[in-house]
Structure 1
Amino acid sequence: MATSTIITIIVIAVVVVLIVAAALIWSASKRKELRRTEAEQLRDKAAGKARQVGQREAIADETAAKARAAAAEADAKKAQAAGLQQRAATHRSEAATSRDELNQDIERADEIDPDQKKREGT
């Protein structure tokens, strides 16, 4: 083989290697660009979901606050009801005592009333 043929083959081989290298570099660059685009789309989608999640969390926090307020109100009403029941029991006890005293007064009046004795005898 002649030297010029060998040089031509080497030049062609170098050109082919350079073309393959360029194609590989271009392909890797395209792949990176596609991945960047996909990552950006995923971030945009995540940002949209983050807003929705934030709104749901806010609603959950608000609902929990309402539940705590309702529970506190229920506890206050329960305490108020217990107090009213205690007052009712006290009034009932006082009324029973007053009723007993009244009955005793009526019995005592009947005992000392001379006309009452006539009515019983009649």
Structure 2
Amino acid sequence: MATSTIIVIIVVAVVVILIIAALIWMAMRKRRARRRIEAASIRDEAAGRQHQVGQREALADETAARARAAAAEADAKKARAASLQQQAAAHRSEAATSRDELNHEFERADEIDPDEKRRGIT
């Protein structure tokens, strides 16, 4: 082969490599541009949904606050119920004591009453 042929082959090879490199560089540039556009679209969509998510978070906070208030109210009612049960037990005890005293007085009256003794004999 002649030197000029070798030089032409090398020049053609270098040109082909440069063309391929240029095509790859352009493809990568287009790909980056498309990805930038896609990323911007995703950001716009996310920004549009940001208000809706904020509303959902506010609703969740409000519901949690209501749950805490209801729990506090339930605790207060539970404490009130326990207090009323204690009062009822105290009243029941007092009533039982009063009933025992009353029965004892009826028994004492029966022991003292002369007519009651006769009724028991007949």
Q: Distance in 1 between matches of 2:37 and 2:76?
A: 58
1:97 corresponding residue in structure 2: 97
Structure 1 stretches (4+) deviating beyond 6 angstroms?
A: none
Displacement of 1:36: 4.1
Alignment of 1:29-68 (within 5 A): 33-68=33-68
Using structure 2 for the length normalisation, give the TM-score.
0.71
2:69 corresponds to which letter in structure 1? A
Using structure 1 for the length normalisation, give the TM-score.
0.71
1:70 corresponding residue in structure 2: 70
Q: Distance in 2 between matches of 1:93 and 1:108?
A: 22
Structure 2 residue runs of 5 or longer lacking an equivalent are 1-17
1:115 corresponding residue in structure 2: 115
Q: Distance in 2 between matches of 1:36 and 1:117?
A: 114
Provide, for residues 16-67 of structure 1, a one-character-per-residue CA deviation record: whole Å limited to 9, x for no partner: x9xxx8xx68x84x66654443332111111122222212111111111111
Provide, for residues 87-113 of structure 1, a one-character-per-residue CA deviation record: whole Å limited to 9, x for no partner: 000000000000010011000000000
| CA RMSD after TM alignment | 3.0
Q: Distance in 2 between matches of 1:56 and 1:83?
A: 40
1:14 corresponding residue in structure 2: none
Q: Distance in 2 between matches of 1:71 and 1:55?
A: 24
1:78 corresponds to which letter in structure 2? K
Q: Distance in 2 between matches of 1:64 and 1:121?
A: 77
2:116 corresponds to which letter in structure 1? Q
Number of residue-to-residue matches in the alignment: 107
- Given the alignment of the two structures, is residue 82 of structure 1 paired with residue 117 of structure 2, yes or no? no
Q: Distance in 2 between matches of 1:89 and 1:31?
A: 82
Structure 1 residue runs of 5 or longer lacking an equivalent are 1-16
2:4 corresponding residue in structure 1: none
